[in-house]
Amino acid sequence: MEIFGHDFIENRVFCTINSTEDIKNTTPNSVLLMDFNKEIITYAKEQNLPFGVRVNSIKELVLSSASKASYLLVNHKFSQTAQKIANEYMYDAKILLVSNDEEDIEFCAKNGIDGILFEFKHQ
């Protein structure tokens, strides 16, 4: 299981973006985080940039995975459905539960969720 944004574990930098212009202000080698947006996803894919997409539906999950997202960020309610689909279709993208609660580490481990992103720790 991958854990991002926890004080105890040092790892990749995630930068939230809302437009293609925001990418210019990100740190090198960071992972771009975005809401589902076809224009920004297409741009990140064309530039070969690692990115994660916040998805809220099965359609967004499938399209983001097909667009080569590295991470698919989900809420608690959608996490098990998303992970089941990712496992069934052998997605390369990792399902990450977005959380502020350390107890969700146990939830992810028990439910086979690929990882967790503590939302208070990314830029």
What 3 state SS string does 24-47 have?
HHCCCCCEEEEECCHHHHHHHHHC
- pLDDT confidence of residue 10: 81
Query: Tokens 């146990």 — which residue?
Result: 106
- pLDDT confidence of residue 11: 77
| Of the options 3.40.50.970, 3.30.390.50, 3.30.230.10, 3.20.20.70, the CATH number for the domain spanning 2-121 | 3.20.20.70
Q: What is the pLDDT of residues 50-106, one digit of tens each?
A: 999 999 999 999 999 999 999 999 999 999 999 999 999 999 999 999 999 999 999
Q: What is the pLDDT of residues 104-121, one digit of tens each?
A: 999 999 999 999 999 855
The yes-or-no verdict on residue 123 having pLDDT over 50 is no
Query: Tokens 């960071």 — which residue?
Result: 30
Q: What size, in residues, is the chain?
A: 123
Domain boundaries, the chain: 2-121
